[in-house]
Structure 1
Amino acid sequence: MTPALKILVILTSHATAGTQPTGVWLEEFTTPYYAFADAGAQVEVASIAGGAVPIDPHSIEAAGKNPASVERYLKDEALRARLASSKQLDGLHAADYDAVFMPGGHGTMWDLPDSAALARLLSEAWGEGKVVAAVCHGPAGLVNVKDEKGQPLVAGRRVAAFTNTEEVAAGMDKTVPFALETRIRSLGARYESGPDFQPFALRDGRLVTGQNPASSARVAELVLQALREGK
């Protein structure tokens, strides 16, 4: 029997953006999570600090008004319990997983770039041939990651992430600590994007990235594709 794929999902622990509550954008977690789990993968849920993961309140509506994966999550006591008691990132090892995935939400803009443990784990994952993926603001976790040559992981690679114009439209451009698109470009990435708030995702070998919440399903598909191909 072929052993199940193991995917590590790393979430933000940062709960405020200026004076506003923030955290993970729930659909960016739930849509890929269920895509991975339904494909037979073992999915582990971790966060920068461990424990309860903050959820952006704007990403949850009343029952019946959410995306399908969020509705499923609201009825899934086991997954809600896992999000309330996530593993702490520090101490986890890339060798134990086939892929690492980072959902977005504005909280990621504060704690993912500042986490030395995250940068180290992702650099190890890349060097060990694992799939590395992120969506929306999740690519903030890539900005301090090095490839096997010691260069920025994103340099010379096709990358999608939340656009500067989407940030302005969201009213957060004056709140976030940096403009994600601008930072990704400054690291030498071949940054690409589609229309604002429309699905857009890229796969460059083992690196998979998506532009915004609408891109989460496509990112999950590309991660599973990369894992099946063993690239």
Structure 2
Amino acid sequence: MKNILFVLTSNDAMGSTGHKTGFWVEEFAAPYYALTEAGHNVTLASPKGGQPPIDPNSDTEDAATEATKRFGEDEATKKILAKTHKLETIDQKDYDAVFYPGGHGLLWDLVESETSKGLIESFLSHKKPIAFVCHAPAILKNISDEDGNPLIKGKNVTGFTNGEEDAVQLTDVVPFLIEDMMKEKGGNYSKVGDWQPYALEDGLLITGQNPASSEKVAELLMKKLK
């Protein structure tokens, strides 16, 4: 049994568009259930603590999966989610791994968060796995290795594709495109067809392409923790 930290966004605004965002339900729910059912302890945190915002587009019939339907009826997990710990109170020594669910919200808070950056680098320096799915790999933009180089330089990585961002018509809204950023930072970026499951492991780093990749990321994380 391992202790795994989930870090969720506290941001509910899509830049200055007036549209709401947050975290993507499937990217939280599928890994949460996979990990807890395997006997692991999951602790939830966010920059502001308390209830993290749910992206309304992830809570619709179109976005529904078995995991999201289960979450919709799971009052016990909703109560836990409503009381996330403040990120600044978290110490990596209490956990065996960290996982970041995606959703557009984090592009405006966790990407630039010095608290999050320090936490991720602390996990790495203590040889603990770090995992990200969909938009969460955007957080790797500001993460460096021990030599001060971009962490993803030369690493096999994936994340939300330019095509997927275009399909949801947010190419001109997001601060940057994840696929482009990963290539610019020297990452060995790869992808499969839009909306298809795809996840990669490279050392301590695990990344997944899109919401459908959430469970694959959880599987790779569990294998890593054995």
**Smaller-chain TM-score bracket:** over 0.9
When normalised by structure 2's length, the TM-score is 0.95
Instruction: Say whether 1:143 aligns with 2:131.
Output: no
Alpha-carbon displacement from aligned partner over 1:86-133 (angstroms, at most 9, x marks no partner)? 111112111211110001001011111110000000001011010000
When normalised by structure 1's length, the TM-score is 0.93
Match of 2:11 among 5, 10, 14: 14
Number of paired residues?
224
Per the alignment, residue 102 of structure 1 pairs with 100
Structure 2 letter corresponding to 1:108: L
Residue pair 1:28, 1:213 contacting (<8 A) in 2 also: yes
Aligned pairs (5 A) from 1:80-119: 80-119=78-117
Structure 2 letter corresponding to 1:67: T
SS of the residue corresponding to residue 200 of structure 2 reads strand
Relative to structure 1, is the Cα distance of residues 180 and 41 closer, same or farther in structure 2, using a 3 angstrom cutoff? same
Question: Aligned partners of 1:52 and 1:153: how far apart in 2?
Answer: 30
> Which has the larger displacement, 176-185 or 114-123?
176-185
SS of the residue corresponding to residue 219 of structure 1 reads helix
RMSD: 1.4
Where does the alignment leave 5 or more consecutive residues of structure 1 unmatched? none
Where does the alignment leave 5 or more consecutive residues of structure 2 unmatched? none
> Which has the larger displacement, 76-85 or 97-106?
76-85
Aligned pairs (5 A) from 1:7-46: 7-17=4-14, 18-46=17-45
Question: Aligned partners of 2:75 and 2:112: how far apart in 1?
Answer: 32
CA deviation after TM superposition for structure 1 residue 148, in Å:
2.5
Alpha-carbon displacement from aligned partner over 1:48-101 (angstroms, at most 9, x marks no partner)? 221110001111135x98211111112221210122121111121112111100
